[in-house]
Amino acid sequence: MAETQYKPPGLEAWDIVIVVLYFIVILGVGLFAMFKSNRGTVSGYFLAGRFMTWLPVGASLFASNIGSEHFIGLAGSGAAGGIGVGAFEFNAIILLQLLGWVFLPVYIAGGICTLPEYISRRYGGRRLRMWLSVLSLLLYIFTKISVNLFSGALFIRLALGWNLYLAILLMLGMTCLCTLTGGLTAVIYTDTLCTFLMVTGSLTVMGLGFAEVGGYDGLKQKYMMAVSNDTLYSNSSCGRPRDDAFVMLRDPVNSDMPWAGFIFGQTIASIWYWCADQVIVQRALAAKSLSHAQGACLLASYIKILPLFTLVMPGMISRVLSPDRVACSVPEKCMEICGSEVGCTNIAYPELVLKLLPTGLKGLMMAVMMAALMSDLTSIFNSASTLFTIDVYGRFRKKASVRELMIVGRIMVAIMTGIGILWIPVVQSVQGGQLFIYIQAVSAYFSPPIAALYLISILWTKATEKGAFWGMIVGFIVGAIRMILDFTHLEPRCGEEDTRPGIIAKVHYMYFALILFWITVFTIVVISYFTKPRPEGNTARLTWWTLHEKPSDTDVMEEARDEEIEKQEIPEEDDIEMEEIEADEDKEKGATEETPTVTLRPSRHPPESKIKRLYSWFCGYEAGTEEAKKAAHEQHERLAMITSLERDPRAETFLNINVVIILAVGLYLYIFFSI
């Protein structure tokens, strides 16, 4: 008999003890980062001082990607449609090498802190940098913050029976406490621990799950028969597994994972995420050298082989073991089971954990899920505050102190989180209730123009600021129209007539991503041919072809290298104020939207009390102290060394051999699971 009333299974005392111990350890990691790192400089807080080795950076790359939305979304899509969703994980194996060997050398040679900063140096002006920052923040709200909060809270709701929004508040409190004090150093240390927990815990669940269904062969047989009682005793095909469930890349026209759309469209959309998104790239930029950054990309790639087996297939196993709940097909019963009328496949992974694991291990997996959620949120919070503080707020408030910039960045994170919570009901209702597919679809509406911009910026020296800006505007308008149409014309349920416009019903979002990419490329190239570069635009060390050129005398990179030191070289009790000075000769030339030259002048204030100094240390507002000035000098010297791109020949050979190996493995896995 089908289950129709949801009953929280609950966690026992030992499970809760393990979860509490996990939180204590995470808080300990955050406190360790407070003592270990210098957070009183912008580079120290946002880029961990560029002292990280390949192991923690690689673990952070993986943990920043594999959040609770993967435990919920990948497993849920596996339960709904089979192994096809695993293609996204194998795609990352290839794109991480693109990041490490094409994009990162340019980013590091330019000495950048944020990706919009790179665009500003490449083209000059402010508007393109500002637009990219705002667009990235919007993508964070729609595809990261809201999704992570929903997926993590869903697991807590199933485990404890709590209200969805009460669970969200608990997670936010813990995440903010760990993130806002330690900066990127705390994030990377936390991510390293989270990676170990996620891999260990998910391998445990995978092993128990396969033992329950009789291995991979047993899964292939039983999954095709895993339907709810309502589906079994009806004449409808709704709620039944796909015939191609064990094929990864499928029919190019009539499937949910068209091979042509994925290879040529989805890959382009994913370039933004892996090669031009602040959350991912910021971790790689924290590495102590290019070799360590590339080693981190390789480590993350090797670990990315696992999710098909540890997340997607366990979701399919969950459908086999709990078909009446996971594979429900009647809207009213689905609403009773999981609170969504469009399906309950999103509960596949937590359902499996709570059904299979004994006391103690349930608590471990609860900690793993919380680790995944908090890892993702800490990464997003740190990167979002970096983007807003440096690229948006700093453009309007040119006299802002370091303390003010850090406070404003954290306030912006709180605002974005509030908007993300309000967006959660939309996340629950679109794309047939498949969380992971929702993420990919929304990314396909906005990320192809960003991917086009960064590819052209790095590979074509003739691109101009006007071409890049208007290409982005055109791409955004086209993508926004598709998104609005998608959300106002929801996909019909199984058995209902599809009355959506043809641009939605007949053009898969992966093909749309391909179309949008080439629209943007065409716009950028055509306008660039008919316009001239801005005077302050620059290509030296900012394209693949000019990596080793000597920067010109007016290169803004030199100013950026000294900026951190200038901010610290003031009397110990002074705050910092920045005053814009515009050159008269620029005004005479009629220059517009110039990046301002700034000088810093101390403003005397009375000595701080001990309580205020303790507060400043706790939050990382240590600008002006001897330690901060010393750290700024060290970071200046380290930046000069890193941007030289010098590498050990033996390390370079080892890394190149591993690139060939991992690319061959990725290609083999694609072929093996697609034929």
Tokens, residue 467? 């071409």
User: Residue ranges of the domains in the chain?
Assistant: 15-38+46-436
Look over the chain and give the mean of its residue pLDDT values, rounded to a whole number: 79
Q: What is the pLDDT of residue 331?
A: 82
Q: Provide the pLDDT confidence category of residue 637 given band limits of 50, 70 and 90.
A: low
Q: Tally helices (H) and strands (E) across the chain.
A: 33, 2
Write the burial class of residue 592 (CB in 10 Å: 0-12 exposed, 13-18 middle, 19+ buried). Answer: exposed
Beta-carbon contacts of 107 under 8 Å, excluding residues fewer than 6 positions away, are 115, 118, 281, 284, 285
Residue 1: pLDDT above 70?
A: no
List residues bridging with 601 in a β-sheet: 577
pLDDT tens by residue, 422-431: 877 777 666 5
CA 650/CA 10 separation, integer angstroms: 54
Q: What angle do CA 320, 325, 327 make, to 5 degrees?
A: 60
Higher per-residue pLDDT: 588 or 462 = 462
- Provide φ and ψ at 250, rounded to 5°: -115, -170
**Spatial CB neighbours of 429, under 8 Å, sequence gap ≥ 6:** 340, 342, 490
Question: What sign has the CA pseudo-torsion 158, 160, 164, 168?
Answer: negative
Mean pLDDT of 210-217: 94
Residue 177: C-alpha distances to residues 20, 32, 174 (Å)? 15, 13, 5
Mean pLDDT of 292-309: 95
In angstroms, the CA 35 to CA 452 distance is 41
Yes or no: say if 464 and 527 are a contact pair by the CB < 8 Å rule.
Answer: yes
Residue pair 93/307 in contact (Cβ under 8 Å)? The answer is no
Beta bridge partners of 598: 580
What confidence score (pLDDT) does residue 250 get? 93
pLDDT for 3 equals: 42
Helix H or strand E encompassing 201: helix 164-213
For 121-147, what is the mean pLDDT? Answer: 86
187, 60 contact by CB (below 8 A):
yes
More confident residue, 494 or 632: 494
What average pLDDT does range 396-423 have in this prediction? 78
Mean pLDDT (whole number) for 196-206:
89
- Partner residues linked to 602 by β-bridges: 576
Extract long-range pairs of 350-354: CB within 8 Å, 24+ residues apart.
350/71, 350/72, 350/154, 350/155, 350/158, 350/159, 351/158, 351/318, 351/322, 351/325, 351/326, 352/75, 352/205, 352/209, 352/314, 352/315, 352/317, 352/318, 352/321, 352/322, 353/205, 354/9, 354/158, 354/159
pLDDT digits (tens, 9 = 90+) for 160-172: 766 667 777 777 7
- Provide the 8-state DSSP code for 391: I
The rounded radius of gyration (Å) of the Cα atoms in the chain is 25
- Average pLDDT value for residue range 635-644: 62
pLDDT tier at 5 (50, 70, 90 boundaries)? Answer: very low
* Residues 6+ away with beta carbon under 8 Å from 36: 185
User: Which sign does the torsion angle of CA 219, 225, 227, 228 carry?
Assistant: negative
Exposed, middle or buried, 385 (CB in 10 Å: 0-12/13-18/19+)? buried
Yes or no: say if 402 and 45 are a contact pair by the CB < 8 Å rule. no
Q: Which CA distances in Å does 35 have to 22, 191, 282, 506?
A: 20, 18, 22, 56
- How many CB atoms are located within 10 Å of the residue 24 CB? 10
Look at residue 667 in the predicted model and tell me its pLDDT: 94
Residue 324 CA to residue 337 CA, distance in Å, equals 10
pLDDT at residue number 228 = 85
Average pLDDT over residues 64-72: 82
Q: What is the pLDDT of residue 42?
A: 47
Does pTM surpass 0.85? no
Tokens of 172: 């936010």
Angle at 57 between CA 111 and CA 283, to 5 degrees: 45
Distance CA(411)–CA(554), nearest Å, equals: 35
pLDDT value of residue 644: 65
pLDDT of 65: 86
How many C-beta neighbours within 10 Å does residue 535 have? 12
Could you report the per-residue pLDDT of 40-62, keeping only the tens digit for each? 444 444 444 566 889 989 998 99
Residues 6+ apart with CB under 8 A from 589: 535
DSSP symbols for 277-316: -HHHHHHHHTBSSHHHHHHHHHHHHHHTTSHIIIIIHHHH
Least trusted range by pLDDT, from 133-137, 253-257, 536-540: 536-540
| pLDDT value of residue 309 | 96
Report yes or no: 353 and 362 within 8 Å, Cβ to Cβ: yes
More confident position, 671 or 51: 671
* Between 629 and 388, the higher pLDDT residue: 388
Tens of pLDDT, residues 472-525: 999 999 999 999 998 888 777 777 777 888 888 889 999 999 999 999 999 999
**393 Cβ contact partners less than 8 Å away, ≥ 6 residues apart:** 400, 405, 408, 409, 412
On whether the CB atoms of residues 408 and 393 are closer than 8 A, the answer is yes
Would you state the CATH architecture of domain 15-38+46-436? Up-down Bundle (1.20)
Share of the chain above pLDDT 90, in %: 32
By the 10 Å C-beta count (0-12 exposed, 13-18 middle, 19+ buried), 627 is classed as middle
pLDDT at 564: 43
pLDDT for the residue numbered 591:
43
The alpha carbon dihedral of 71, 72, 73, 75 has a sign of positive
Question: Collapsing DSSP states into helix, strand and coil, what is residue 233?
Answer: coil
